[in-house]
Amino acid sequence: MKELRTEIEIHATPDKIWQVLTSLDKYPEWNPFIHHAIGKVKVDEKVDITFKSGSKEMTLHCTVVKVEPNKELRWKYHVALPILFSGEHSFIIEQVESNKVRFIDREIFNGLLVSSQANDIDTNSKQGFEAMDKALKAKAEQN
């Protein structure tokens, strides 16, 4: 198991951040990491995401496992077989003040291939998470 976690404070309401985060069709407009997403933000529904990590572009076929409006969106996926490589990605919104939240971008990786991907996760994936977090902050704070 390996965990990647980033967080950022955003001066916006949880509702505003939730609107940006769950408008999957708008990701190409603001999200530099997950630049394409399609599907329904509903438990047991499918969401396909395309992201860039370093020089690689990859599409994952995810299943939504948790939807708690204004608080958490979580999906899981696997590559090839779950025993080889799987992940569970959480977007968590924690209200700090009336117009300020802590946004946590977290993924748990499992499988036999995780150790061979650890360096890429620690560098490229982390940079992608941080870029997305900053872009979400800019988008949520602009209105």
Q: Where are the domains of the chain?
A: 2-141
pLDDT given for residue 100 in this prediction: 97
CB 104 within 8 A of CB 85: no
Kindly tell me the burial class for residue 66, based on how many C-beta atoms sit within 10 Å of its own C-beta (0-12, 13-18, 19 or more). middle
**pLDDT value at 34 more than 70:** yes
Is the CATH code 3.10.20.30 the one for domain 2-141? no
For residue 24, give the DSSP letter: G
Check residue 55 and give its pLDDT.
83
pLDDT over threshold 70, residue 98 = yes
Closest CA to 5 of 110, 130, 135, 136: 130
The pair phi, psi for residue 117, each rounded to 5°, is -105, 0
Question: pTM for this structure?
Answer: 0.94
Q: Percent of the chain scored above 90 by pLDDT?
A: 94
pLDDT at 143: 62
Question: How high is the pLDDT of residue 77?
Answer: 98
Supply 89's token pair: 């990605």
Between helices 126-141 and 14-22, what is the axis angle to 10°?
120
Q: Is the pLDDT of residue 74 over 90?
A: yes
The per-residue pLDDT for 56 is 85
Contacts 24+ apart (CB under 8 A), 67-70: 67/41, 67/42, 67/43, 69/18, 70/14, 70/15, 70/17, 70/18
Under 8 Å CB-to-CB from 3, ≥6 apart: which residues? Answer: 106, 107, 108, 109
**How is residue 69 written in tokens?**
């409006």
Position 19 confidence tier, pLDDT thresholds 50, 70, 90? very high
Q: Which of 54, 33, 56, 58 is nearest to 124 (CA)?
A: 54
pLDDT confidence bin for 114, thresholds 50/70/90? very high
